[in-house]
Amino acid sequence: MQGIVTALLIVAGASAGGSIGVARPPTEGRESPQARCELRGEPRVVGRLAGAQGRTSSAVDARLGETVEVFVEVAGRLDGRRVLFSEDRARGRVSWVDSGCPPAELRWQRVEPTMEHVATEGPNEGSSIYANAVMFGPRHGAWIGYDKLEYSASPVAAADDRWSWTVTDARPSEGRLVRARGEAMAGLGVMRLSVSVTPEGGAARRSAGVEDRRRGGIAEDVFRYTFRSGDDVFGWLTTFFNVPYVFGSAGVGVRSQAERYVGADCADVIVAALRRAGHRDFGYTSVAGLIRQLPRASEPIVVSPAESAAASSDYTPAPGDILAIDYIGATSLPRPWDHVVVLVEDRGPEGEADGVLGPEDQVADTGDARGLRFSALGDQGRVRVLPLRARSK
């Protein structure tokens, strides 16, 4: 077989969230007998941070600016010997490309949730929002059971036929989700990948993907990676872009839907960010549970869309503060505290910080089919706000 000429190919274009780089290692050009190559298992997609030492994983967390290397692993035989094919080149792994194996067709896909019910009916009449519990009325919050989340797959053509490649962000395929949060944060969030491998003359084999579900969401062996803006609570909160809002999200500890990045309500997304930022002692809970666990930064403050809190308030807004919200006059919400958001930026009427909690302050909010988003506090209407502050870790 004609040998492979030394090459380094960088592919730019559409990706599972950004730029793709593909490297092919050099081999000597020479005639050689074709190796006997067989696949004996289903492929796995794994990854690690570029430049990091150690093993690959089915889930990788990165900061924006870092690079995630993505690999295919699949058990097989080379000339009758059991091997694990991978371009990782770690100890014990064997390169399909360099072993003289015949060409294989690889097809990559993004695996993404729809942000609300599209093909199926939601459990709450008149609402397409994912929910595990009753929304509104006297039974508000009563458990229904795990909702069935919907997923779709889209091709990553620039990565096709590659056994390894790189990603630098988690930009979703749906443009409206990018536009909703702005270009500066377009690459933050979570993304999943799957691959099918079809060796020449053989049957297609596929990794865990869009069809693979578990109770409460997508299977954990579908490869997942995240990009965040920083290592504090707010930084980890940004990994929850592309995660659907699920009213009454559930699960304990690492089994939580929020912990697994499959769905989160307003309280659980904050607990998940706290846990990722080092507060592992926090258990998943409700808004009321957050109020019990976090120290208060102030007594409750009333904020209206048209006016700021009184300047005499002893509270100075600080980015990262957690704001519990009571919708004044909302009789369909029987709990004392209805919602919770995270303060992103102190902003006054002129667009500059004014040291006063007011309607122009920017908050991170998840509470509908848009998922995690940034908005003005005044968009919540006339509310009673209880500021909470997580201690640094």
Q: Is the CB of residue 266 less than 8 Å from the CB of residue 365? A: yes
Instruction: Summarize pLDDT for 3-60 with one digit per residue, the tens.
Output: 332 232 223 333 444 444 433 344 444 445 678 999 999 999 999 999 888 889 999 9
**Of 141, 173, 129, 176, which Cα lies nearest the Cα of 14?**
173
Q: Residue 8 has what pLDDT? A: 25
Rounded to two decimals, the pTM is 0.88
The model's confidence at residue 391, banded by pLDDT at 50, 70 and 90, is confident
- pLDDT recorded at residue 94: 95
pLDDT score recorded for residue 351: 87
Amino acid, res. 45: V
The predicted pLDDT at position 378 comes to: 95
User: Which residues are registered as beta bridge partners of 302?
Assistant: 384
Contact indicator for 348, 357 with CB cutoff of 8 Å: no
Residue 211 has pLDDT above 70, yes or no: yes
Q: Is residue 169 very low, low, confident or very high in pLDDT (cuts 50, 70, 90)? A: very high
| Chain centroid, CA 144 distance in Å | 25
Residues in contact with 12: Cβ distance below 8 Å, sequence separation at least 6, in sequence order: 19, 20, 158
Q: What is the mean pLDDT of residues 175-185?
A: 83
Is there a contact between 380 and 324 (Cβ–Cβ < 8 Å)? no
Q: Of 160, 155, 141, nearest to 70 (Cα)?
A: 160
**Average pLDDT of 70-98?**
93
Classified as helix, coil or strand, 178 is helix
Q: What are phi and psi of 164, to 5 degrees?
A: -150, 150
Q: How do residues 280-324 score in pLDDT, each as one tens digit?
A: 988 999 999 999 999 999 999 999 997 765 544 689 999 999 999
The strand pairing partners of 37, in sequence order, are 78
pLDDT at residue 342 is higher than 90: yes
Q: 132-145, pLDDT tens digit by residue?
A: 999 988 898 899 99
Better pLDDT: 368 or 54: 368
Question: Helices then strands (H, E): number in the chain?
Answer: 4, 23
Within 10 angstroms of residue 177's Cβ, the number of other Cβ atoms is 20
pLDDT tens digits, residue range 88-101? 977 789 999 999 99
Using alpha carbons, select from 178, 201, 230 the residue that is nearest to residue 36.
201
Please give the average per-residue pLDDT across 244-252, as a whole number.
95
Contact 283, 253 (CB under 8 A): yes
pLDDT at residue 310, rounded to an integer: 53
Residue 160 half-sphere exposure toward CB, CA atoms < 13 A = 10
Strand (E) or helix (H) holding 291: helix 287-293
